[in-house]
Amino acid sequence: MVSPKIAVIGAGINGVSSALAIQEKIPNAEVTIISEKFSPNTTSDVAAGLIEPYLCDDDVNKIIRWTKATIHRIQEYMAEGNDGAEEMSGYWIQSVKEVPKWLEVMKNVNVLSEQEMKQIAKRPEHKFGVFYSTWYLEPTPYIKWETEKFLKNGGRIVQRKVENIRELDKDFDVIVNCSGLGSKKLVGDNGIYPTRGQIIKVSCPKVKHFFLDDQYYALLNDSTITLGGTKDQHQWDVTVNPKLAQKIFEGNCVNVPSLRSARILSHHVDLRPSRATVRLEIDSKLGKLVHNYGHGGSGITLHWGCALECAALVEQLVAKRAKL
């Protein structure tokens, strides 16, 4: 059987994961990742890697299915003894009472009592809270691990900016678009837009639990804490705003007073690829094209579930083309 030639555009966590999932689904496929940027210089690399749907308004049952697949994947990754992934517990504090359906995939979920809220609440708007356990996945070491697997499986990597999907037409049987915000220009999707995120990486061993509210978050990693955050829609500016950085730091210190002793390590800004829904489908206009982009602030949380579905769509196209 002739080996199908498949191109994946984009080398963030969704691009690399899709490429690897395709290799696993179609072992004889020749898969090439084509991207202008690679880790550690992708949008994925800036993420704190909290496993929780964030800034993503897709169907909740889809989100739960994709998140479950990702959690299973992280557990496999952790079982190999890899760095950059661990369970963590903490507080999700809100101004309105809401118990989202996705909490069913988390562990140790406990809705805080009035007495507990009195101890935890730090602001007048802190009215309702949940304590639970989830995971974090640091994108940079994980993407490196996936990339090594991809190359070991015979995958190819090409550094190149794709200006037009048609450039790849004659060389590939199927094209997978994981270009995130690049899809605005690449496939003319005016429904995708940036949501600017500014964060601070700090060191503070005293902090043992994550803490999120409507405005701020302090999230654990192996040796750092990520402080955020901003969610400025349709903002393309990726320069660090010092006044905003101060506000983020001070706001998190109100919520978690131990952060006053934190050592600031670095500041970062990047743009989340936001969309009304994740676009995960075969393109009806160009039948050999599969889309997997628009994950908003949930790229890490949804990545493996989406990669598996993306690979299944590619398999459909390969089977269809084999019959022609």
Domain that holds residue 12: 1-84+138-192+276-324
Return the pLDDT at 284.
Answer: 83
Whether pLDDT at 1 is above 60? no
Q: Are strands 174-177 and 5-9 parallel, antiparallel or unpaired?
A: parallel
Q: Among 170, 177, 173, which Cα is nearest to 29's?
A: 173
Average pLDDT over residues 126-134: 97
Whether pLDDT at 324 is above 70? no
pTM, to two decimals: 0.94
Return the pLDDT at 49.
Answer: 93
In a domain, 312, yes or no: yes
Answer yes or no: is 77 a known binding residue. Answer: no
CATH number of the domain where residue 36 is located: 3.40.50.720
Answer yes or no: is 207 a known binding residue. Answer: no
Answer yes or no: is 196 a known binding residue. Answer: no
Average pLDDT over residues 207-219: 96
Question: What span, in angstroms and rounded, lies between the C-alpha atoms of 277 and 267?
Answer: 29
Cα 280 to Cα 10, 303, 308, distances in angstroms:
15, 11, 11
In a domain, 144, yes or no: yes
In a domain, 152, yes or no: yes
Whether pLDDT at 120 is above 60? yes
In a domain, 283, yes or no: yes
Q: What percent of the chain has pLDDT over 90?
A: 91
Answer yes or no: is 81 a known binding residue. Answer: no
In a domain, 99, yes or no: no
Q: Are 258 and 204 in contact (CB under 8 A)?
A: yes
Pick from 27-36, 226-235, 272-281, 313-322: least confident: 313-322
Whether pLDDT at 321 is above 80? no
Return the pLDDT at 191.
Answer: 96
**Interval 244-286: pLDDT, tens:** 999 999 999 999 999 999 999 999 999 999 999 999 999 988 8
Answer yes or no: is 140 a known binding residue. Answer: no
In a domain, 17, yes or no: yes
In whole numbers, what is the pLDDT of the chain averaged over residues?
Answer: 95
Answer yes or no: is 155 a known binding residue. Answer: no
Answer yes or no: is 279 a known binding residue. Answer: no
In a domain, 229, yes or no: no
Answer yes or no: is 182 a known binding residue. Answer: no
In a domain, 307, yes or no: yes
**How many residues are present in the chain?**
324
Domain count, the chain: 1
**Interval 232-244: pLDDT, tens:** 999 999 999 999 9
Answer yes or no: is 162 a known binding residue. Answer: yes
Answer yes or no: is 49 a known binding residue. Answer: yes
Q: What percent of the chain has pLDDT over 70?
A: 98
